[in-house]
């Protein structure tokens, strides 16, 4: 049974970002064209009054929340208060007002960084809050955990149908290719491209290259979100449950396949066409040694990723070149 109809008024907060735009495209592909896509110039999600007035005026049936302050290890280290305060405000403003104004269903996009630094692999949903977080992105993670718990509390107390997806590391169309404030794949794409253009013989990468990471193309995430909205209600009797039989408000989404940062760097160098040597600056932090999600619950429901990493990297490099040609890269 499809839990969505094409008449739904679907609001996406964060629709200009990589995840939000991918979800919007996926919704259009599946026939859900009645979308409300406020951007920052139209709505400041940090302003509770503005969010409240927007909800009151537009009355969406479905809300998808992808808006967030995001960044890599360096950005999290340099701006911890910004990451915590801004994300808490965005989440509370949107989720609480969605509930207050009668939104029928809500999808909140979290992150795999919610899980402990050291935990059994692959990471099951039950690992949440079982041991300390990775220090390099704990501020962002704590905010995302608060968002999950807000959704869960509204379901428990008010029967609000809120679900959350925890994607692994995302990349793809619409990514941020900033040289210091981006995530690993876009940062490496830019670094290797600039080294190729400048005829540099070496590229220096952070850390040892040994950590294992899992990556999901944004287009796959978009499909997972549509699938979840069509097939998963947190209020349904057949909703996924944890090991103790309690309904789960959040599910992992990823490929279930990881790769070392060293091997990833080599793949990106090949895609970009950089033929020099890769050096590793071991004075820089590695972060979590391994992070691979257990995606078996979403697979059992009927969804799995479809874009192999090699194909996805080629698509991402093309996106970078398009951004570069259009002079849209962030400096």
pLDDT tens string 115-127 = 998 999 999 999 9
User: Domains of the chain: which residue ranges?
Assistant: 10-174+214-258+291-306
Question: What are the structure tokens assigned to 217, written together?
Answer: 């193309």
How much is the pLDDT for 131? 96
pLDDT at 222 over 90: yes
Taken in order 47, 50, 56, 59, is the CA torsion positive or negative?
Answer: negative
Contact 200, 276 (CB under 8 A): yes
What's the mean pLDDT in 6-10? 96
Query: What is the helix, strand, coil percentage profile of the chain, to 5?
Result: 45, 15, 40
* φ, ψ (nearest 5 deg) of residue 165: -115, 135
* pLDDT, mean of residues 123-148: 95
Strands (DSSP E) found in 28-91:
35-36, 62-65
Query: Does the pLDDT value for residue 47 go beyond 80?
Result: yes
Binned at pLDDT 50, 70 and 90, residue 166 comes out as very high
Residue 71 has a pLDDT of 74
Distances (CA, A) of 66 to 140, 191, 282: 14, 27, 33
Average pLDDT, the chain: 94
pLDDT of 74: 75
Closest CA to 150 of 106, 111, 116, 112: 106
pLDDT tens digit sequence for 56-114: 999 999 999 999 998 767 778 889 999 999 999 999 999 999 999 999 999 999 999 99
- Judged against a pLDDT cut of 90, whether residue 20 lies above it is answered with yes
Q: What is the pTM of this model?
A: 0.94
**CA dihedral of 321, 326, 328, 331, whole degrees rounded to 10:** 70
Contact 91, 111 (CB under 8 A): no
Radius of gyration of the chain (CA): 19
* 10-174+214-258+291-306 CATH, one of 3.40.50.720, 3.90.550.10, 3.30.530.20, 3.60.15.10: 3.40.50.720
Q: Please report the pLDDT score of residue 181 as a whole number.
A: 73
Is the link from the previous residue into 122 a cis peptide, with omega within 30 of 0? yes
- Is the per-residue pLDDT at 331 higher than 70? no
Cα–Cα distance measured from residue 225 to residue 64, given in angstroms and rounded to the nearest whole number: 9
Q: Is the pLDDT of residue 272 over 80?
A: yes
Query: Residue 9: exposed, middle, or buried by beta-carbon count in 10 A (0-12, 13-18, 19+)?
Result: middle
CA atoms of 201 and 204, how far apart (whole Å): 10
- As annotated, the active-site residues are 140
3-state secondary structure 241-302: ECCCCCECCEEEECCCCEEEHHHHHHHHHHHHCCCCEEEEECCCCCCCCEECECCHHHHHHC
- Write down the pLDDT at residue 136: 82
């Amino acid at each position: 049974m499809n839990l969505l109809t094409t008449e739904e008024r679907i609001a996406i907060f964060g629709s200009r970002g990589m995840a939000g735009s991918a979800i919007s495209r996926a919704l259009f592909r599946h026939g859900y064209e009645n979308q409300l896509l406020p951007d920052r110039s139209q709505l400041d999600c940090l302003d509770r009054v503005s969010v409240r007035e927007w909800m009151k005026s537009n009355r969406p049936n479905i809300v998808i929340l992808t808006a967030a302050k995001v960044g890599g290890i360096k950005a999290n280290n340099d701006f911890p208060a910004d990451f915590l305060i801004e994300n808490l405000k965005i989440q509370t403003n949107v989720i609480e007002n969605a509930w207050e104004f009668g939104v029928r269903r809500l999808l909140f996009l979290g992150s795999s960084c919610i899980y402990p630094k050291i935990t059994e692999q692959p990471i099951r949903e039950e690992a949440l809050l079982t041991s300390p977080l990775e220090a390099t992105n704990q501020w962002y993670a704590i905010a995302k955990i608060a968002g999950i718990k807000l959704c869960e509390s509204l379901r428990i107390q008010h029967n609000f149908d809120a679900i959350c997806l925890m994607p692994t590391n995302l990349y793809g169309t619409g990514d941020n290719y900033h040289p210091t404030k981006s995530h690993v794949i876009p940062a490496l794409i830019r670094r290797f491209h600039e080294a190729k253009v400048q005829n540099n013989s070496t590229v220096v990468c952070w850390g040892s290259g040994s950590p294992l990471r899992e990556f999901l193309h944004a287009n796959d995430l978009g499909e997972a979100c549509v699938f979840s909205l069509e097939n998963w209600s947190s209020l349904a009797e057949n909703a996924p449950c944890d090991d103790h039989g309690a309904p789960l408000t959040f599910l992992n989404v990823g490929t279930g396949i990881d790769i070392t940062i060293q091997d990833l760097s080599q793949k990106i160098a090949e895609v970009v066409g950089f033929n020099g040597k890769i050096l590793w600056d071991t004075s820089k932090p590695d972060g979590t040694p391994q992070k691979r999600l257990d995606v078996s619950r979403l697979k059992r429901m009927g969804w799995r990723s479809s874009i192999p990493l090699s194909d996805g990297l080629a698509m991402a490099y093309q996106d970078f070149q398009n951004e570069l040609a259009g002079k849209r890269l962030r400096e």
